[in-house]
Amino acid sequence: MTEIKLTAAELIRAAIEQAYGQAPFARDELAAMLEYPPDENMGDLAFPCFKLSKTLRKSPVMIAEELSRVISSRDFAKVEPVSGYLNFFVSREYYEEKIIPEILQKGEDYGKSDVGKGKTVVLDYSSPNLCKPFHLGHLASTMIGHSIKKIHQFCGYNCVGINYIGDWGTQFGKQIAAYKLWGNEEEVKKGGVDELARLYVRINNEISGDEENGIAPRKDLADMARAEFHKLEEGDKENLRLWKWFVDISLEECNRTYKKLGVDFDSYAGESFYTDKMPAQVEKLREMGLLKIDQGASIVDLSEYNMPPCLILKTDGSTLYPTRDIAASVYRYNTYDFAKCIYVTASAQCLHFSQWFKVVELMGYDFYDKLVHVPYGMVSIGGEKLATRTGNVILIRDLIDAAVEKVTAVINEKNPDLENKEETAQAVGVGAVVFHYLLNSRIKDINFVMDDALSFDGNTGPYVQYTYARTCSILEKAGEYKAEKIKITEKAEEDLAKILSRFGEAVENALNDYEPSDITRYILDVCTAFNRFYHDCPIITAEDEAEKQTRTALTKATNTVLGSALPLICMKTPRKI
């Protein structure tokens, strides 16, 4: 919450006490009620007095008028009652004497908080199923998760990023079966994960069949795949050898992509890591009487909680996703003593998480309320669902390569002598893709259009990175400066200072809502305000020295805020483009 909101709230609290004898709400409660008016003519903050009407037994209009008469502060140019609202207009002195000096003094610590001090957060994100190329569908969990991790770190949390890779399960039965039927070592060594994916697509297609073209489903292949996975779980040496080989090939491909995206993890403990940890949890469920047999499968009945049963073991005794997730949560809590364990997955998995979270609660584990599912919307291409088995995917490596190629062409045209062209093109190209993905609310479904992701016009990654580079260029030209007394004289200066003052609140909102787009949209607001200021207010060429110093200080403050905000959404900060 911004300091100015707390200041206004304290003034409201004191005014209520002065006018009515006792304030019904504490300062922080009043601060949470303050709103940002849709029109700047209605002030910078607005307090809806109808929230006091019932307690004070007066009309909102009368309350607003009475409170406005007793509120006075240097931080506000005026406080006006309008139709039951108390409208606060922040003074320029507040920005001159508090906000800009605070940003300059704190530097990269501006906007940070210590709310997470001494607390550990475990984040489970990206988690691709292996033996498939890293495609567009993996990008959401990867970038949303890594951004949420960075936001938590910025707020003082100790973060453990876990890539819970899909290195176990029925899909490996299919992969092993497909390799034994149609694969060979040389082709897999040559084609890598692409060859593994080709085999996987083939066996899926043959299992499904194609009724329209008279191709019958292959139940025998489905049975073979299940048998191969069961052998893997039973420790068959040949299947274990193939499994490890496939995993190594897949991780090599994934890590190349993670390096390009600037993403790293603290643990790669995937599904297979919990193979020896699941039996204890299954036995605990059995001992507690929670495990029931239904048509040969072992389940936990959740009908009392208006949910379908949670499947724990298949009819052949093989484990399922909930079995592994339960075992993983217990291990993570015992290992990290987390304050929160966050799972970033598609919204289609909401029921799955609700089910096994409830099972963890029924098992008596007191960390059940520290498990958090952060869902995101589905991604489609041309309105069709992404699916490796049908080949309807866009590979991340192709998307990044296309973006970098486009940036390189622009740099060669407009700034051919730029140092570190390749590094800059990589930073801006990847930034374009990441920014496009994190611009909208995470829960919103996306119909991915390549041209939109690679567009550099309007509200894009290249636009915000270029704005940051512009602040670097101005500061380099300005040289040393002494903003001993900041004096805001122009509206564009005031508007920029106002948006810079809200950085901490944007971070707080993003943290509480697990919403990187709060930061992305805030960055756009900063860039819009700065570029308007840059257009309206000469900086280096300002005729008055005091104006030059003030505007240079505002540029430095913008550079500081963008320099902290961009990494929170996994974007680099090139100083020259």
Out of 136-140, 290-294, 347-351, 361-365, least confident range? 136-140
Question: Is residue 265, in this structure, part of any structural domain at all?
Answer: yes
Out of 290-299, 378-387, 411-420, least confident range? 378-387
**Phi and psi angles of residue 373, each rounded to the nearest 5 degrees, phi first:** -100, 125
The arithmetic mean of pLDDT across residues 362-368, rounded, is 98
> Tokens 């564009």 appear where?
492
Helix, strand, coil percent values for the chain (each to nearest 5): 60, 10, 30
Domain enclosing residue 73, as ranges: 3-90
- 533 CA to centre of own chain: 30
Check residue 385 and give its pLDDT.
59
- 44 CA to centre of own chain: 28
Q: Are residues 379 and 434 in the same domain?
A: no
Q: Are residues 78 and 153 in the same domain?
A: no
Q: Are residues 425 and 555 in the same domain?
A: yes
Using 50, 70 and 90 to split pLDDT, how confident is the model at 577?
A: confident
The arithmetic mean of pLDDT across residues 44-48, rounded, is 96
Q: Are residues 510 and 560 in the same domain?
A: yes
The arithmetic mean of pLDDT across residues 99-111, rounded, is 95
What does the mean pLDDT of the chain come to?
A: 91
Half-sphere exposure of 279 (CA within 13 A, CB side): 3
Q: Are residues 62 and 183 in the same domain?
A: no
pLDDT value at 127 more than 50: yes
pLDDT value at 472 more than 50: yes
Q: Are residues 77 and 150 in the same domain?
A: no
Which has the closest alpha carbon to 242: 175, 319, 187?
Answer: 175
- CATH code of the domain containing 134: 3.40.50.620
Instruction: Extract the tokens encoding 536.
Output: 């309206």
The arithmetic mean of pLDDT across residues 75-100, rounded, is 95
Domain count along the chain: 3
Question: Is residue 295, in this structure, part of any structural domain at all?
Answer: no
The arithmetic mean of pLDDT across residues 191-200, rounded, is 92
Question: Is residue 303, in this structure, part of any structural domain at all?
Answer: no
- For the stretch 237-263, pLDDT in tens is 999 999 999 999 999 989 999 999 999
Specify the pairing of strand 384-385 against strand 379-381: antiparallel
- For the stretch 396-422, pLDDT in tens is 888 888 889 988 988 898 888 888 889
Check residue 233 and give its pLDDT.
84
Strand segments, DSSP code E, in 181-266 are: none
Check residue 450 and give its pLDDT.
66
Instruction: Extract the tokens encoding 290.
Output: 């929670």
Question: Is residue 136, in this structure, part of any structural domain at all?
Answer: yes
Instruction: Extract the tokens encoding 544.
Output: 């008055």
Q: Are residues 231 and 267 in the same domain?
A: yes
pLDDT value at 1 more than 60: no
- CATH code of the domain containing 507: 1.10.730.10
Question: Is residue 518, in this structure, part of any structural domain at all?
Answer: yes
3-state secondary structure 536-547: HCCCCCCCCHHH
- For the stretch 5-29, pLDDT in tens is 999 999 999 999 998 888 788 999 9
Domain edge (last residue) among 71, 90, 109:
90
Question: Is residue 110, in this structure, part of any structural domain at all?
Answer: no
pLDDT value at 213 more than 90: no
Dist CA 369 CA 249 (whole Å): 37
Dist CA 396 CA 128 (whole Å): 13
Task: With beta carbons less than 8 A apart as the criterion, state whether 569 and 506 touch.
Answer: no
Q: Are residues 234 and 342 in the same domain?
A: yes
Long-range contacts formed by 273-276: CB under 8 A, 24+ apart: 273/328, 274/324, 274/327, 274/328, 274/331, 275/168, 275/233
Task: With beta carbons less than 8 A apart as the criterion, state whether 282 and 177 touch.
Answer: no
The type of residue at 78 is K
What pTM, to 2 d.p., does this model score? 0.91
Q: Are residues 373 and 448 in the same domain?
A: no
The arithmetic mean of pLDDT across residues 430-456, rounded, is 83
Q: Which residue has the higher pLDDT, 419 or 181?
A: 181
Q: Are residues 17 and 130 in the same domain?
A: no
The type of residue at 305 is Y
Instruction: Extract the tokens encoding 79.
Output: 């406080």
Angle (CA) 494 495 497, round 5°: 65
3-state secondary structure 362-426: HCCCCCHHHEEEEEECCEEECCEECEHHHCECCEHHHHHHHHHHHHHHHHHHHCCCCCCHHHHHH
Alpha-helix residue ranges (DSSP H) falling in 21-168:
27-33, 50-56, 60-68, 92-94, 100-106, 136-154
Q: Are residues 382 and 421 in the same domain?
A: no
Dist CA 92 CA 71 (whole Å): 18
- For the stretch 257-281, pLDDT in tens is 999 999 999 999 998 899 899 999 9
pLDDT value at 389 more than 50: no
Q: Are residues 455 and 510 in the same domain?
A: yes
Question: Is residue 320, in this structure, part of any structural domain at all?
Answer: no
Dist CA 331 CA 325 (whole Å): 10
Check residue 391 and give its pLDDT.
52
Question: Is residue 321, in this structure, part of any structural domain at all?
Answer: no
The arithmetic mean of pLDDT across residues 157-176, rounded, is 93
- CATH code of the domain containing 20: 3.30.1360.70
Using 50, 70 and 90 to split pLDDT, how confident is the model at 392?
A: low
